[in-house]
């Protein structure tokens, strides 16, 4: 599965499969209508009388009844109504099929849209096993997932084309989206509702894993950040807690307990940073910390001018957070 491509026609879950079938029905009927209308237009043009430019138009037939056309028009109207009813029926049946997904033993996740990133909180199990991550959702293959969707600021729309349809996130309201991934892989998601200047760079990934791999990942996420052993990493931790980073970000097990930005407790285990904008490597991480507006102009994170040595120390520390 290519994580860089949105493809709603590559359905890897029952919800996406129902939507892809509905799309194929709409495409087939609309294609037939388009061909029929185009054929009628070409036939009318072929049968239209030709006159020279200087001749005045013949308006004598404008108000003359044409009984021979009443039957074809009636048939066309009847076929149009029938086609619309088929589309309506297909939409209703698809909606009912989407609502019939079995939800026993579901994974419960709360996703909140921010400008311009996603916070992801796992709610399954006891409160002591609740944890939070950002811009990356992990789910077990073959097990239903129920998402509670909220918006922190403006209207967003969560869309995972290969797994489920779109669902709007409206401030002050909670929406629900259910799906199931039937094949391991990485599926890219995207905000599908214009939400500001960096709307196009508000992506995320859904990692569908075998149940044992998912459980291993979940247990890893429950752990607090390890104490760095390297001297540079230790200095990076001290710097991180002493500058503005700790005011917005959380790293469990440290003094950094900010709630306005992504949780970084296991940052190094993620594939991307900045909501899918950049690959997660040391170079991109350093560039993002120093000047995030270079990559996402208008983002809420401020620039962090510091010496190259301090920046390298912070990047080294963040690289230990797995």
- CATH class, range 231-318: mainly beta
- Give the pLDDT of residue 68: 73
pLDDT higher than threshold 70 for residue 2: no
Task: Flag whether pLDDT at 209 surpasses 80.
Answer: yes
- Which of the four pLDDT bands, split at 50, 70 and 90, describes residue 251? very high
- How many percent of the chain have pLDDT more than 90? 71
SS3 of residue 175 by DSSP = strand
The CATH-assigned architecture of domain 107-221 is Sandwich (2.60)
CA atoms within 13 A on the CB side of 291: 3
Residue 320: strand, helix, or coil: coil
Give residue-wise pLDDT tens across range 38-78.
Answer: 998 998 888 777 766 777 766 766 677 777 778 888 888 99
Instruction: Give phi and psi for 295, each to the nearest 5.
Output: -100, -35
d(CA 8, CA 19): 8
pLDDT, mean of residues 187-215: 94
Identify the helix (H) or strand (E) that includes residue 212: helix 211-222
Is the pLDDT at 265 greater than 80? The verdict is yes
Q: How confident is the model at residue 8 (pLDDT cuts 50, 70, 90)?
A: confident
**Residue 242 pLDDT:** 86
Query: pLDDT band at residue 4, thresholds of 50, 70 and 90?
Result: low
pLDDT of residue 40: 87
How would residue 123 be classed by pLDDT, with cut points 50, 70 and 90? very high
For the segment 10-20, what is each residue's pLDDT rounded down to a tens digit? 889 999 999 99
- The pLDDT value recorded for residue 295 is 92
Q: φ and ψ at 244, to 5 degrees?
A: -70, -15
**Cα–Cα dist 156/150, whole Å:** 9
- For residue 129, pLDDT over 70 is answered with yes
pLDDT of res. 3: 53
- pLDDT at position 226 is 86
Task: Decide if pLDDT at 151 tops 70.
Answer: yes
Rounded to an integer, the average pLDDT of 312-321 is 92
Give the pLDDT of residue 107. 95
* pLDDT value for 46: 84
Q: Cβ atoms within 10 A of the Cβ of 222, count?
A: 15
Per the listing, tokens 């002591």 go with: 128
Q: Could you tell me the two tokens for 82?
A: 């029938």
Task: Tell me which of 7-11, 89-93, 111-115, 309-313 is least confident.
Answer: 7-11
- Between 68 and 316, name the one with better pLDDT: 316
Q: Give CATH 2.60.40.420 domain extents, the chain.
A: 107-221, 231-318
What does DSSP assign to residue 57? P
Model pLDDT, residue 259: 87
Q: What is the pLDDT of residue 245?
A: 87
Average pLDDT over the chain, rounded to an integer: 90
Give the whole-number percent of the chain exceeding pLDDT 70. 95
Q: What is the per-residue pLDDT for 110?
A: 96
**Cβ contacts of 278 within 8 Å, gap of 6 or more:** 272, 284, 287, 288, 295
The H-or-E segment that residue 74 falls in is helix 70-99
275 falls in which pLDDT band (50, 70, 90)?
Answer: very high
């Amino acid at each position: 599965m290519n994580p860089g491509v949105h493809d709603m026609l590559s359905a890897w879950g029952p919800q996406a499969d129902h939507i892809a079938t509905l799309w194929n029905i709409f495409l087939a009927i609309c294609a037939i209508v388009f061909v029929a209308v185009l054929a009628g237009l070409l036939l009318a043009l072929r049968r239209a009388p030709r006159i020279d430019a200087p001749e005045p138009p013949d308006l004598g037939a404008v108000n003359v009844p044409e009984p021979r056309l009443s039957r074809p028009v009636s048939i066309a109207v009847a076929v149009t109504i029938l086609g619309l009813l088929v589309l309506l029926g297909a939409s209703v049946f698809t909606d009912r099929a989407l609502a019939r997904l079995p939800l026993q033993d579901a994974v419960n996740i709360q996703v909140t849209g921010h400008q311009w990133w996603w916070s992801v909180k796992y709610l399954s199990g006891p409160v002591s096993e609740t944890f939070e991550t950002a811009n990356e959702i992990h789910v077990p293959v073959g097990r239903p997932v129920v998402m509670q969707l909220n918006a922190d600021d403006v209207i967003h729309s969560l869309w995972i084309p290969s797994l489920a349809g779109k669902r709007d996130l409206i401030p002050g309201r909670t929406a629900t989206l259910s799906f199931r991934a039937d094949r391991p892989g990485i599926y890219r998601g995207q905000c599908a509702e214009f939400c500001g200047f960096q709307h196009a760079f508000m992506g995320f990934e859904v990692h569908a894993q075998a149940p044992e791999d998912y459980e291993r990942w979940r247990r890893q996420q429950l752990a607090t950040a390890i104490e760095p052993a390297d001297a540079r990493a230790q200095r990076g931790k001290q710097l991180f807690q002493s500058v503005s980073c700790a005011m917005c970000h959380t790293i469990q097990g440290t003094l950094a307990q900010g709630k306005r930005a992504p949780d970084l407790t296991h940052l190094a285990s993620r594939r991307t940073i900045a909501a899918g904008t950049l690959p997660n490597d040391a170079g991109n991480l350093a560039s993002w910390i120093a000047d995030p507006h270079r990559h996402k102009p208008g983002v809420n994170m401020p620039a962090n001018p510091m010496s190259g040595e301090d920046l390298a120390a912070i990047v080294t520390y963040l690289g230990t957070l797995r």
